[in-house]
Each structure stands twice: as structure tokens, then as C-alpha cells.
Chain A
């Protein structure tokens, strides 16, 4: 079981940020002669090393621009590291940019084969899984319509359905859990959770600590391209909360009209975190109450945080416990999105 499936050794990634991009010969020669070719070096990743064992679920935390996506792209093979080596064993499914390789003039059906080929699936496999993909994406008749007439949600659904049709050994997730409408999201979450159950190794990037805690058993923190913490998810999340969250909320000043809300949100934060871990009755009730009181958008967010859908039943019970005089059905109606 302790087999390393992803091994990242001393990986560094350098980008040249040119002050003004030289992409024609004349400028290049002139600048070369004048010795004005200046590159501003930027190290997106500095000497990163870690290994992921089979079945591990690694969360990658970090602020914007910390190098998380660069790291995932290197592991997925899109970028090549300037220095260092990455070894990946097994079938890898990067759910990074769904639908890269779609052609807008092709119909959905044609795109299934095209995008499948881009992901490296063989033809027979795609032919066998074709119906399953169409069914999962819920496109129905639209499958024979050119992709340019699709809504963005339809495109995302098709991309997700194709990308997840394999049973990968390694799954790379970059906050793709929010695909399509609530119904489809639930379905896609279920599919990903199924992959977890089958023992897939997961690399997961997120800004939401609750998601990372719910999914991962190990986590690392990237800060300005350096690896600053590596260890069990709870410990690392604690470090992240202490060192980064405060900084982050300090920077992001809430808008005026949302002032009240955000205050409540801040207060609520500790409650949120308990949800994922302890599943205590009281905080959950609090969570669900706020979800009802506030807008739908809020409810959606809340639901995302409670990635563990089984919690919903607990929520129901707790509602009953705290407000026995109110009919449960009204709650279900109000929380329709949540409970679906």
C-alpha cells in the first residue's frame, strides 16, 4: 500500500516575465545588439519535493499565486519543470480545465470522440462508453447540435462526463466540484466520491479549508512557490488558518452592503469548521438556520462546504430537535436545493 505513485523531486519552475514581449525578429535583433534583452525572472516554484503514496488524498493549500496550479500542471504534464523531476505511475485524470480541446463547430457527439482522444482514450473505449457519457451529461437531443450553440453549463457537463468516464489511479482536482446546476453538482460529487472509494489517489487544490478537510487526509501548503508545511490534514489546516486566513480576510475588505453578512460569516467560521470534523448537533443546527435565513446563494455555499451529503439527514433531525413546532415539510421546501 505504501507505494509512491506521484513523486516530485526538487521541482523548480521559472518564468521569464519580459517587460515588453519581444516576438518579432527586428525588435529581437535590435535589442540583442543594444544588449537590452532583459528578462525579469520569476520563480513560480522553488525546490519542491514530496511524494504521494497510493490511496493518499493530498490537499494543496495556498493563497492566490502561490504556485498551486503551476504545480498541478507540471504533474499533469502540461508544463515542464525548469529543474527537477516528476514521476507519475498509473493512469492520471486531470480535471483541471474541462473541455480543453473541444471544437465549437463540432457537434457534442463528435466532441466526445475528439476530447476523449485528447485525453488519450482509445477509440473502442469511447465507443463503448458513448451512451454512458451522453446519459451522464443529460444532453439528450442536444448531443447532435454544434457545441457553439451550447450554454456554458452544457459544455461543462459534457466536459465533466467525458473526463470522468475513466477509472483513474490518480485524480487531479482543481475546484471543479462546482460544475453545472445543483442537481448536476450532486451527481458529479457522487461520481468523484465513488472514485475515492475505489482507492484513487487524489491531488486536490482548494481555497476552502472545509473542503480540504472533508476530502483529504494529508495536506501541504505552498507560499510564494515554496513548500512550507507538509503533514496530516488537521495539523496543516491549523497552520494554514493561523498564518494565512487572517491575512487573507484582512486584505479582502468586504463590500459595504454586505458588511452585515460578512460579520456574521466571520462569527460563524469556527462553527463551519466543526461541521466537517465533529458533526456536533448544535453547530449544524446553526448552520442550517443561517442557510434558511439568508439568500439562496448563501445556501449553495453552505452546501458546498458540507460536502458530505449524509450530513443532510443530521441537519433535518437537528432542525426537528431545535424547533419542534415548525413543520419539517416547510423546511424541506425552503431548502429544496439542499436536499435534492
Chain B
């Protein structure tokens, strides 16, 4: 364990460099560059609002905030896990040639997605003032769901990265799963109107979204949702850690 920490210290600069590279190269050669981080959630929120406002009833003027909170968390989760899953294969050239702690690849991908996500929260802050959802003291709680979504993404990212090395199919399977997660996460509808409540318990990000909305709308944290989301996050994190650690030496033989 202590040798792992020493090793991490030696390579933490690499983690910084890889994370920086992911962000830099993502928008290099595009004219708007990092502005896309802000533009993308704005545009999708506008579309979703136009489409789903009729289901919601026109009286709810904060509906865009409702969509934006769910949409931002979901898009971080999907980006982070997808990139982490592909990180081992995308870096196969490097893995075959030089020694680098292998968790660096999924970890740097998730961290860069997280930074992009943090920047896109600016859109949410702006929208809150436009739609007059003013922050209360409960906004301070928001670091809890924001932290849990990171842990959850790390857990899923490590599990998927390991599985995708041995089975290419994982990449397609996960695309489908992500779509299911999106539709069952109550991003653009009211969960109370759904009869089968069990689908929300199967969704790893739903309870994080619930609590994040509570923070933004100025409600206290939902304790049951907190417990469930913590269980999802930490259990997946430990499974991912153990699975990745046990299988990492075999990666090179399969990529």
C-alpha cells in the first residue's frame, strides 16, 4: 500500500499532464474551443424544454433548471465512463512500451471530464439567476452529490475499463445501458408521475440527481436518497478498484 502511494507521488505529474492533454486536445482546432462546454448544455436544455414543457404544464417557469441539473450530471457520468472504458485500448501503444501505473489512463480521463463538467456548471449558475431560483444556504450541500457522482464515475469507469479490455462488446453494451440510465433518471419528467418506482432504485445516478436538485432548489438533503447514492458510489468504487488491480497485469496480453 505504501509503495503504491510512493508510486503515485512519482507519477502525479503524469496524471496532471494526461488530464491537461485530454482537455486541450478535445477542443483544439475548433473555433469556439472551450466555449462548447457551455454552449452544449445550453442548446440541449433549450431543445428539451421546448419539447417537454407541454407535458409539464406551462406554469412551471423553473423547468429549464430542472432539466439542466439532471442533464449536466448525466452527461458528465456518460462522458466520464465512456472515456474511461476506452482509455486502456486507446493508449495500448503506450501500455505496451513504457511502464506507467495503469489506473492513470481511466483516472485522467475521468478527471478531465470532471473539470469540463465543473466549467459547465457556470451555465447552471447563470440559468439560476435568469429563472430566479436564488441560492439558499442549502447550496452548500451541493458538494456532496458532486463528490458522489465523481466516486460513482470512478467506480464504473474502472469496472468498464477492465471489462472492455477482455470483451470489446462492452463498448456497445454500455452505450445501450447509458441510454436506459438517461431515460430512467427523471431528467425531463416528474418521477412522481411514474407508476413503477422500482426503476429509479435500479438507476445509479437518479438519487444523486435528486439530492443535487434539492441543493439547487433550496431543500434539505433527502436522507434515503443520500444513503442509496452513497451505497452505489462506494460499492462500485471498491469493486472497480479490486477488479482493476487484479486484472491490470493481464491487460497487455489482450490489447
CB within 8 Å of B: which residues of A? 15-16, 23-26, 28, 76-80, 94, 96-97, 100-101, 103, 105-106, 113-114, 117-123
Contact = CB atoms under 8 A, between A and B. Distances in A.
Nearest to A78: B99
B97 A15 contact: no
B115 interface: no
Contacts of B28: 105
B11 A120 contact: yes
Given A78-B96, A94-B98, A105-B28, A123 B167 contact: no
Contact of A117 (B17, B167, B252): B17
Contacts, number: 67
Contact residues of B: prevailing secondary structure: helix
Contact of A23 (B16, B166, B252): B166
Q: Which 6 A-B pairs have the closest CB atoms?
A: A100-B97, A77-B99, A97-B97, A117-B14, A80-B249, A117-B17
Interface string B163-203: 00011110000000000000000000000000000000000
Interface string B23-34: 001001000000
Interface in B19-76: 21, 25, 28
Nearest to A79: B252
A22 B166 CA distance: 9
Q: Could you say which of B25, B99, B166 has the most chain A C-beta atoms within 10 Å of its C-beta?
A: B99
B17 A113 contact: yes
A116 to B, nearest CB: 8
Nearest to A113: B17
Given A117-B14, A118-B94, A105 B25 contact: yes
B13 A122 contact: yes
A26 B11 CA distance: 38
A123 B253 contact: no
A79 B166 CA distance: 17
Given A78-B95, A97-B97, 9 more contacts: A24-B169, A78-B99, A80-B249, A94-B98, A100-B97, A100-B98, A105-B28, A114-B21, A121-B13
Given A113-B17, A120-B11, A122-B13, A101 B98 contact: yes
B98 A97 contact: yes
Nearest to A124: B13
A15 B254 CA distance: 10
